[in-house]
């Protein structure tokens, strides 16, 4: 095992990989509850959605670990499932099986781009400063998600957001999780982020923040599997229905853009922390990672779990010491258990994971000094990426702003020829997506 995963060779240990894998899992465990609940709004039976979500995440996370030996976890994408539910199903009145067929086609399109080398080529065309900015932006995004989930940041009509009431139980547990995560980090406690989550979860019980299981459901429902090949209530096979309705292809394009660049940002961020990102910005094993990610998108549509994609929360595991794909097997095993024990995982609140996400955000920010702030052509687009990702609540939109303004600034400063052709193409695609979608 050590030889296969190169655990010792990468300066890690089995214990570290296990602890880091559990840390990643706990920071992304919310998908077990959130994805089925959201898909349920589109008509997918809850137990079927839960089974598809858990087994889809387990399968593709394990495949990523075995094929690439990199600590990148995958699960149903929250932004992508919002497109499936609210834009396609509820917005257009489309059956959920047809929406899953759109996801399948999106994954197929992404796979073709990878096999043609286009997706990897675009990633290599991105300047190193912008690559680092993407990682930093994701770090701020993760920290923002943590603070928001812990009710330390709340909505406000006049200022959009404001500080929450710190006397509320959710905020108290969130503050405790931050104190624990920061304290364990600065004194270098092994598995500190994981311990902060577990302790905050236990303390949250008497505060009423940690929800106790109300029912035990050990049943599995595979009825969502092969959704694109199922017949819809109107008597037509779902995949055929997409083909005869070209308007649905616009949603395929929208999901493709989001999936394409969300994964790009996540891989850059995880690579920087897990040690497989080179000084020039290139990511080792990039092609294999992208192939697995593309296959995951197709698998998500096929089994009815929405598009499965790389998770930014993987950075938390990399921060906790994950360096190999063995941590992925730990995560995969936990997801399989969740299919049977979802009430237990449901006890982990957003307040309990707040501290871990805030520390991850801090650690991602340490790359900011590597950006060339003296060159406006690189500094301004990098800044827009960093602020754009958390402020738009979208990795893809933040990257899009940076790409477009990078090309613009380079053009007006007479350096347009230095921009690689694929950056122009990607920026044009972003501009089209902003206008049309």
Backbone angles phi, psi at 149, to 5 degrees: -65, -30
Q: Nearest-CA neighbor of 73 among 114, 26, 110? A: 26
In Å, how far are 242, 244, 421, 435 from 236, measured between CA atoms? 10, 11, 42, 33
Among 243, 285, 306, smallest CA distance to 72 is for: 285
Torsion (CA) 333, 336, 337, 342 in degrees, nearest 10: 130
**pLDDT tens sequence for the chain (437 residues):** 888 999 999 889 999 999 999 989 988 887 887 788 778 888 998 789 889 999 999 999 999 999 999 999 999 987 677 678 877 888 778 899 999 999 999 999 999 988 988 877 877 788 878 878 887 887 888 888 889 989 999 988 888 889 999 999 999 999 999 999 899 989 978 667 878 888 999 999 999 999 887 766 667 889 999 999 999 888 889 999 888 777 777 678 767 766 777 787 788 888 888 888 776 667 788 889 999 999 999 999 999 999 999 998 898 899 888 999 999 999 999 999 888 876 776 677 889 888 888 887 887 787 788 888 999 989 999 999 999 988 988 777 888 899 999 999 999 999 999 898 888 988 998 898 788 76
199 Cβ partners below 8 Å, 6+ apart? 176, 177, 180
Q: Taken in order 79, 281, 18, 188, is the CA torsion positive or negative?
A: negative
Instruction: Choose among 19, 6, 1, 4: nearest CA to 327.
Output: 19
297 backbone dihedrals φ, ψ, rounded to 5°: -60, -45
Instruction: Tell me how far the alpha carbon of residue 206 is from its chain's centroid.
Output: 32
In the chain, where are the structural domains located? 1-371, 372-436
Predicted TM-score of the model (pTM): 0.73
Distances in Å between the alpha carbon of 262 and those of 21, 153, 255, 267?
Answer: 21, 24, 10, 9
CA distances from 65 to 12, 48, 310, 330 (A): 15, 26, 12, 10
The 10s digit of each residue's pLDDT in 364-396 is: 787 788 888 999 989 999 999 999 988 988 777
CA quadruple 331, 335, 337, 343: dihedral sign = positive
Burial call 319-347: b when 16+ CB within 10 Å, e when fewer: bbbbbbbbbbbbbbbbbbebbbbbbebbb
* Per-residue pLDDT tens digits for 225-271: 999 999 988 888 999 988 877 777 767 876 776 677 778 778 888 88
Cβ atoms 260, 395 nearer than 8 A: no
Plot region of 419 (φ>0 → left; ψ -120 to 50 → alpha; else → beta): beta
Give all strands (DSSP E) within 202-251, no chain letters. none
SS3 call for 164: coil
Q: What is the pLDDT of residue 14?
A: 93
């Amino acid at each position: 095992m050590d030889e296969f995963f190169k655990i010792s060779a990468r300066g890690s240990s089995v214990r570290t990989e296990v602890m880091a894998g559990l840390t990643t899992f706990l920071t992304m465990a919310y998908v077990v509850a959130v994805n089925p609940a959201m898909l349920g709004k589109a008509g997918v039976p809850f137990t079927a959605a839960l089974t598809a979500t858990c087994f889809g995440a387990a399968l593709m996370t394990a495949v990523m670990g075995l094929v690439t030996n990199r600590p990148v976890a995958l699960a149903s994408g929250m932004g992508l499932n919002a497109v499936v539910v609210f834009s396609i199903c509820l917005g257009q009145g489309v059956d959920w099986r047809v929406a899953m067929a759109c996801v399948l086609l999106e994954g197929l399109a992404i796979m073709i781009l990878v096999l043609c080398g286009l997706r990897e080529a675009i990633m290599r065309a991105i300047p190193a400063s912008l690559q680092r900015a993407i990682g930093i932006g994701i770090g701020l995004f993760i920290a923002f998600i943590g603070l928001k989930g812990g009710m330390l940041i709340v909505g406000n009509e006049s200022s959009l957001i404001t500080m929450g009431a710190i006397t509320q139980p959710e905020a108290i547990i969130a503050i405790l999780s931050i104190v624990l995560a920061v304290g364990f980090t600065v004194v270098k406690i092994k598995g500190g982020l994981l311990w902060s989550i577990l302790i905050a979860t236990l303390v949250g019980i008497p505060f009423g923040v940690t929800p106790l299981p109300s029912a035990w459901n050990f049943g599995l429902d595979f009825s969502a599997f092969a959704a694109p090949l199922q017949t819809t209530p109107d008597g037509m096979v779902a995949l055929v229905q997409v083909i005869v309705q070209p308007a649905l292809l616009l949603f395929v394009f929208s999901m493709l853009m989001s999936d394409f660049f969300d994964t790009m940002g996540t891989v850059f961020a995880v690579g920087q922390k897990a040690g497989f990102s080179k000084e020039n910005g290139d990511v080792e094993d990039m092609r294999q990672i992208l192939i697995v990610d593309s296959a995951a998108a197709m698998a998500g549509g096929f089994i009815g779990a929405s598009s499965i994609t790389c998770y930014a929360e993987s950075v938390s595991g990399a921060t906790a010491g994950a360096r190999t794909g063995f941590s992925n097997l730990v995560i995969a095993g936990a997801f399989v258990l969740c299919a049977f024990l979802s009430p237990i995982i449901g006890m982990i609140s957003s307040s309990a994971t707040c501290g871990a996400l805030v520390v991850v955000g801090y650690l991602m920010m340490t790359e900011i000094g590597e950006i060339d702030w003296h060159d406006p052509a690189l500094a301004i687009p990098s800044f827009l990426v960093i602020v754009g990702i958390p402020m738009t609540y979208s990795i893809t939109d933040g990257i899009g702003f940076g790409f477009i303004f990078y090309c613009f600034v380079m053009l007006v400063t007479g350096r347009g020829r230095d921009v690689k052709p694929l950056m122009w193409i990607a920026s044009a695609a972003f501009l089209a997506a902003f206008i049309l979608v």
